Structure 1
Amino acid sequence: MNKFSIKTKIYFGEGSLSRLSELNYKKVMVITDPFMVKSGTIKKITEQLEKGSVEYIVFDEIVPDPPIETVVVGVNKMMEFKPEAIVALGGGSAIDAAKAIKEFALKITKTDDVYFIAIPTTSGTGSEVTSFSVITDKEKNIKYPLVSDSLLPNEAILDPELVKTVPNFITADTGMDVLTHSLEAYVSTKSNDFTDALAEKSIKLVSDYLLRAYKDGNNTEAREKMHSASCLAGMAFNEASLGLNHGIAHGIGGKLHIAHGRTNSILLPHIVEYNADLTGYTNCEYSNAAIRYANVAKILDLPCSNVRTGVKSLINWIVKLQKEMNMPRTLKECGKDINEINNSIDAIAESALVDGCTITNPRVPNKNEIIKILNIISN
């Protein structure tokens, strides 16, 4: 027997931040990063809380790839303030940190659950609807994934107003992260009819709106649709999990500190090619992953006279999208020294083999195959 469930209530569209003025909680802890405060974005949150006469504090010490030390500080702040609800504002790092802070604080105090609202300011991670959180050990250069249904936010607010000022290069990185989430969930060994529907819709929205959002950040429709695409992809991979793309990307992020979405983008065409495994197959013997990739090509109205053509079309479309958004396609193009890359390859490959995401990849990799992929994307 299988199960599919969605815990998180989703408020979306223009003006959805007004939901915060309707809360029945009187003490709220807002968890965010310094930029949200410096840019004044935090006021869009606090103004709504003030309308509802809510007492609040702002913890704004979250940094990218949140380290364990920051989580500990946040836990102490939460235990001191004793909020009835938490509002996480920011990208994946802020939401992931908030998840960890809430989880550890409640375990330490052994108190009842605290209501959790996630408000993403990028359209990429889908963290607002997932039971995953990634915390970093800076000293060891290791990322630790936390996985528990208790990490799932109770609500997500997707207001396109919050992403209009996102720079185009971040729009590109996060948009390709969405595409990676959807494609990996679609070919995952845990995929099902429900996750397929979510992934397919997300992929189509990326196809229709990512470039529009990249070229014109003030395009409200494009921003809203990419917010939806990110959330749909999050719901898909929360149930179906991911694959080797993320398994390798986590290792690269820990060792080379390249933005997660950008790393996923660099890997994506090569992982599609690896998973499809077209070498040696006849027209009647394609892998299930290859057949599914070809189906994506059909959804996107790409050339697909047969499975092989469909897979190649999908790969070419991904590369074309990268080029149109001026994205790096190798680790060296991200400004990394080739010696540093080469010295990290073995460790990255080892970590990818044991990464939780790799387990549901449609093709079981070995270390040499991962090293080959890493060598291809190095320079």
Structure 2
Amino acid sequence: MAAEGESYVPFTDHNPKPHISSGIPFYEACAHHVTNTFKASKVYIIVSNSISKTDNFKKLTNALGEKVVGVRKGIKPHTPWSDVVEIVEEVRSLGADIIVTLGAGSLTDGAKVVAFALANDVKTSEDLGKLPADQETPNIKAPALPIINIPTSLSGGEYSPFAGATDTRNHHKASFSHKELGGSLIILDPALSVSTPRQIWLSTGIRAVDHCVEGLCSLQPKVSAKSDKEFGEGLKLLVPNLLITSKDWENEEARLKEMLGARAAMGALDLGIPMGGSHGIGHQLGPLGVGHGETSCILLPAVLKYNYRHGDENVRKPQQKVLDILWADEAVVEVLKKHGLEKEKADAGDVIGAIITELGMPRTLKDVGVGKDKLDALADNSLKDRWLGTNAIPLTEKRQVLDILEMVVGDTD
């Protein structure tokens, strides 16, 4: 049930979960739904370290009052299993009946894995390692604890039935999946996002762009006119408004459009469209200390160019869908021309690369402190990721992954 003045709608027309809230302050929406929608009385909050020191966190805890039974301030980047197990034990001991996340990235994935682990009586990292990425495994129970996500980035993980968490024993980022994995409610508040650091907001915006672009360029059987339409709508909302935000930081209208663009991208993904090499390699680049969105800034242009150079017409043709959308927007065209691109000559990798450069985001591994000595192990770990096989050109050999990585090493002199 919506609060007064609130928009409260299902995620998509084909999937009612999660519901999406917007239009009223995040703390008012959260308190309303904790009480009236979920009938919860013991709230466990997972909040980023930085937000925990702000008035925004005070507004949330004041709105929830005595219902708050526990607070976790921060989860380390890329969701280490050790952090997950600690939170599972605390949530279990407190008898919490709902989790609220305030932040993004590792917090979002962490809450999903915590709920999954609680449902399956996980107590140790060894127990966690037995939870598969395939919900068809016998005796695996669906997550039952409701989650309210209040995101402060555009990476979109709160919409996904997948979660990544890193096994600290080998630095491999494992994937957890279940059709019921994920939040029950996502609260969008553009005013809250103004406090998100510039690097995180804009780079995760490119992460959302990555969803759209790899979706539009996918050659997998589930691609349809419906998925292309939703990915296209997401791209149209994201790129022009990210360019606005980079110049006009407090423009809440542009921020809400970006949030809705990320939602559109994830709605298309919910149709079962797999991602490609940018996501697959990025999953393993992240544990080396690279931000979730930054992996897309570095890898997406390179993967597009690799696919174009090594693919046939069937691989190249879908990239035209991306070009048609971006060259149709006057503000985007102005930026592309500023970077010396011509419509008749620039490929999708050139165009996406120019947009990322304009936003001031990293383009090479050197930019994020990853040296050539890491490439070999990075390629090995990447080959374990499910998305490499669904790249427009399936990435099945180490040499292919290394070819892409060598494109983004950067000047090492």
TM over 0.5: yes
Give distance in 1, aligned partners of 2:91 and 2:106. 18
Whole-angstrom CA distance in 1 between matches of 2:192 and 2:22? 12
Q: How far apart, in 2, do the equivalents of 1:354 and 1:31 lie?
A: 30
**1:186, 1:45 → 2: CA distance?**
38
Secondary structure of the residue that 1:41 maps to in structure 2?
helix
What 5-or-longer segments of structure 2 have no aligned partner? 1-12, 123-140, 334-341
Contact 1:29 1:85 in 2 (8 A): yes
**Match of residue 117 from structure 2:** 104
Distance 2:309 2:15 in 1: 33
**SS in structure 2 at match of 1:91:** coil
The 2-side partners of 1:264 and 1:311 are apart by 23
Matched to 1:8, the amino acid is P
In structure 1, the residue matched to 2:262 is 230
Q: Distance in 2 between matches of 1:335 and 1:195?
A: 36
Matched, 1:369 2:395: no
1:196 counterpart letter in structure 2: D
> 2 CA distance for matches of 1:235 and 1:92?
18
Tell me if structure 2 keeps the 8 A contact 1:131–1:152: yes
User: SS state of the match for residue 55, structure 2?
Assistant: coil
In 1, Cα distance between equivalents of 2:70 and 2:303: 44
Tell me what 2:349 maps to: 315
| Match in the other structure for 1:75 | 88
List aligned pairs for 1:295-374, cutoff 5 A. 295-301=321-327, 312-336=346-370, 341-365=371-395, 366-374=397-405
Higher helix share: 1
Aligned to 1:9: 19
Quote how far apart the aligned CAs of 1:327 are: 2.0
The Cα offsets for residues 95-114 of structure 1, whole Å up to 9 and x where unpaired, read as 11111111111211889822
Q: Which amino acid aligns with 1:258?
A: V
d(CA) in 2 for partners of 1:219, 1:122: 15
Q: Which runs of structure 2 are paired with 1:84-99 in the superposition (5 Å)?
A: 84-99=97-112
CA offset digits 1:314-346 (Å, max 9, x no partner): 33321221221222211112233xxxx322222
TM-score, with structure 1 as normaliser: 0.87
Q: Shift in Å at residue 210 of structure 1?
A: 0.3
Structure 1 residue 54 displacement after superposition:
3.2
Structure 1 window deviating more from structure 2 (363-372 vs 107-116): it is 107-116
Aligned residue pairs total 359
Q: What is the CA distance between 1:355 and its match in structure 2? A: 0.5
- The residue number in structure 2 matching 1:33 is 48
Paired residues of 2:286 and 2:292 also in contact (CA < 8 A): yes
Which residue matches 1:220?
Answer: 252
Q: From the superposition, tell whether residues 368 and 55 of structure 1 become closer, same or farther in structure 2 (CA, over 3 Å).
A: closer
- Aligned partner of residue 151 in structure 1, secondary structure: coil
What one-letter code is carried by the residue in structure 1 that aligns with 2:193? Answer: V
CA distance 1:271–1:13, shift in 2 (3 Å): farther
Uncovered stretches (5+) of structure 1, i.e. residues with no partner: none
Calculate the aligned-residue CA RMSD, in Å.
2.4
Q: Give the share of equivalent positions with the same residue, in percent.
A: 29
Deviations 1:102-129 (A, max 9, x none): 1111211889822221111112x21111
Counterpart Cα distance in 2 of 1:324 and 1:39? 30
Shift in Å, 1:310: 6.8
3-state DSSP of counterpart to 1:150: coil
Residue 89 and residue 310 in structure 1: after superposition, are their counterparts in 2 closer, same or farther (change >3 A)?
farther
Stretch deviating more after TM superposition (86-95 or 134-143): 134-143
